[in-house]
Structure 1
């Protein structure tokens, strides 16, 4: 599985290139529109798999209000799913509300994990 860091770097590369952004951005917007997660009240970051150790640590670092909002969105979407209904128009996530609230925390956790791995594999060479 790709790390969030590699996904962010790839997206930055695509957005810097005029040709790639002209092709990929409309496709991404169409994909998001038809994926349907906004019709259940989710934000994009609510869909990231949370069973990984890095994600667990990032979720623990969320501010309490953001963590509460996330859990509320998950419970509300579960209710909509169980009743086989979509969210009412007032509860549908609008594109401007769909921010990446969790990505900065995940990037910090991954940077710390990469640094820890580099330090754990460090070889000390004795000088003569």
Structure 2
């Protein structure tokens, strides 16, 4: 099988898995679903306010839709190609800083 074919299968499989999770049917993005531990809370503080507001809107809308047992119309679902990480890179940075701080304090 060619590399191009493998990539196509991989991409199609990833899209299938993405749609199977269901959060996109509520208009959520992958990073909206991160558990809010201390690292995520710190990362949220570092985001511009308009991005935090957009995130909060998506989460509240999803909770309201779920409460009413409804989904968004399919054209409003979050698309795999458009769901780029906005929080995960900052969370990784916060984790590295915390681990470095813990290491520094333990020495």
> Match of 2:43, SS?
helix
Whole-Å separation in 2 of the counterparts to 1:53 and 1:34: 29
The match for 1:40 is 26
Return the TM-score normalized by structure 2. 0.84
- 1:23-102 to structure 2, matched below 5 A, reads 26-50=12-36, 52-102=37-87
Structure 2, gaps ≥5 residues long? none
The match for 1:14 is none
Residues 49 and 90 of structure 1: is their aligned pair in 2 closer, same or farther, counting only changes over 3 Å?
same
> Match of 2:71, SS?
coil
The match for 1:110 is 95
Larger radius of gyration: 1
What is the number of residues matched between the two proteins?
102
Return the TM-score normalized by structure 1. 0.71
1:112 is displaced (CA, Å) by: 0.4
Deviations 1:41-98 (Å, cap 9, x if unpaired)? 0000011101x11111011111111100000000111111111111023421122221
RMSD between aligned residues: 1.9
Runs of 4+ in 1 over 6 A off after TM superposition: none
Whole-Å separation in 2 of the counterparts to 1:90 and 1:76: 16
